[in-house]
Amino acid sequence: MKKILIVEDDKKIVAALTVRLKAEGYEAVAAFDAVMAGSVAAKERPDLVLLDISMPGGDGLLVAERLRKLPVPVNVPMIFLTASKKPGLRDQAMALGAAAFFEKPYEADQLLGAIKKALGES
């Protein structure tokens, strides 16, 4: 079973994503802030990371960079979700090697499609 790490400060969105991921046969683990993300990722070794960009206490883009620089780097596909419409965010995410970038509210079909594609399942 492929494991997906959700880094997102809104617990309801984490819950909604978890329902979707489980229904698709994935295991979902969550980190609720930028600081937790590193330790959860190091411990759980996910196959893919879903990241919110604007979180209190840290920016998802920085989290992604940090995960890539862990002692044992988390070099897995990363998909960003954001409620922000700040110009240039998509480009920044793509420059970091993001597999996909979605604005909130996201369309679950599209998100799941991107996850499958990033995991090489489609």
Partner 1 sequence: MERLTYCGSEVVRSARKGWVVMTEAPLRILIVEDDPVYRELYRTLLDLIGEHGGYRFLEAETGEAGLAQYRADRPNCILLDYRLPDFDGLEFLAALAGEDGQVPVPVIMLTGEGSEILVAKAMRVGAADYMPKSALSATSLRRSISNAVEKSKLRAAIAEQHRVLAQTNLELQRKNAEIQQFYHLLSHEMKTPLTSAREFVSIVLDGLAGPLSEAQREYLSYARESCDQMTLGLNDLLDSTRLETGKLHIAPQPGCISTLVARVVVSMTPQAQDKSIHVKQSIAPDLPQVLIDEKRIMQVLTNLLSNALKFTPEGGEVGVTVGNDPERPQWILVSVSDTGRGIEPTQLDHVFDRLYQVRSGDAAIEGGLGLGLYICREVVTLHGGGIWVDSTLGKGSTFSFTVPKCVPAIH
Stretch that binds partner 1, among 11-19, 31-39, 66-74, 114-122 (CB under 8 A): 11-19
Residue from 25, 57, 87, 120 touching partner 1 (CB under 8 A): that is: 87
49 close to 81: Cβ distance less than 8 angstroms: no
Query: What's the token pair of residue 62?
Result: 């920085």
Told to check if 16 binds partner 1 by CB under 8 A, we report yes
Closest distance to partner 1 from the beta carbon of 85 (Å): 5
Query: Which residues contribute to the site for partner 1 (CB under 8 A)?
Result: 10, 12-13, 15-17, 19-20, 23, 54, 83-85, 87, 104-106, 108
